[in-house]
Amino acid sequence: ASPPSAPSVVTTSAAATAMASPALHPAIQPTLPSAETQRHVSEARAAVVASIGNMLDSELQSRAGILHSNAAALEKQERDVLRATDGLRKETAKLKAEADKAARKVKELGNVQNWAEVLERGFLVLEETVRLANGGEDSDDAGSQCSCSCSECGSESDMDVEEGEGSDGGNGNAGNGAENGAERRMDVDAMSDASRSLMDLDSSTGTGRAKGSETASIST
């Protein structure tokens, strides 16, 4: 009795599988798209890609042009900056040279001022020396005049005793004038020695008389 029941079970399972398969797998189209349809689809795809590419290309080209122009402007500005830097460097060197020259001139002016003070002192000493010398010559002239007048008075005093006494007094005054003249000459010699020692002291500090004369000519 058992063998006849087996085919019925197999048939039932096959029927159940056939009923469930349409729900699991959708029905496949009976026909594929034709060549014309595929050509239209490819053309449409190419048109879309081309339109998008045109939009992007135009925008990218404009941006690329802007970038190139900016790069060129930056290069030009860089060259200008380098040129200006070179100009500033040259100007700085020139100003430094002028500053050094001015510093040397200021130093020379300071030396000239010192020499002017030294020369001024020397001139004052010489002026005093000349003044004393002129004063001594005046006193000598006065003494000689007194001696001459007194000698004349002495020649006339031989006839009168009183005139002789007057001539003796005149000769005494002439002797005093000569002594004063000698003392003044000694003072003049002392002042001359002092002026020479002052000039020798100035020359011993490291500068010569030739430079002093040159400095005097510059100061005048």
Q: CB-based contacts of 153: which residues, under 8 Å, 6+ apart? A: 163, 166, 167, 170
pTM metric for this prediction? 0.30
CA distance 123 to 128: 8
Q: CB-based contacts of 112: which residues, under 8 Å, 6+ apart? A: 215, 218, 219
Q: How confident is the model at residue 78 (pLDDT cuts 50, 70, 90)?
A: very high
Helices (H) and strands (E) in the chain, counts: 4, 0
Locate 173 and state its tokens.
């005054």
Q: How confident is the model at residue 75 (pLDDT cuts 50, 70, 90)?
A: very high
Q: How confident is the model at residue 74 (pLDDT cuts 50, 70, 90)?
A: very high
Locate 77 and state its tokens.
């500005």
* pLDDT-above-90 percentage for the chain: 17
